[in-house]
Amino acid sequence: MPSARRKPRKVPTNVSVRPELVSEARSRSPNISEIVVHALEQALRERRRQGWLAENREPIDQYNQRATKRGMFSDSWRRF
């Protein structure tokens, strides 16, 4: 029976990195790949977020303008 928590397959990749970054990374963690994967995940998550915000800027602005003009549906229930 296969394990439910299998690690995703990794693809070997060549990356050029400044020597001082490699040196510091090795002094802090023996697994540079783990550091690179984590940093890449964070950078891609932020790029997706920025793309979503740019793609949805107009509807967000319209909603905010409408909420400023008309108020929120819950305004009558708020106690602050």
End-to-end CA separation in angstroms for the chain: 56
pLDDT tens, residue by residue, 7-51: 778 899 999 999 999 999 999 988 999 999 999 999 999 999 999
- Domain ranges within the chain, ordered by starting residue: 19-69
**C-alpha closest to that of 17 among 3, 32, 7, 2:** 32
Residue 1 has pLDDT above 60, yes or no: no
d(CA 18, CA 2): 40
- pTM for the full model? 0.67
Cα dihedral sign, 55-56-62-64: negative
pLDDT in the model for residue 71: 86
- With bands split at pLDDT 50, 70 and 90, how would you rate the model's confidence at 6? confident
pLDDT in the model for residue 30: 86
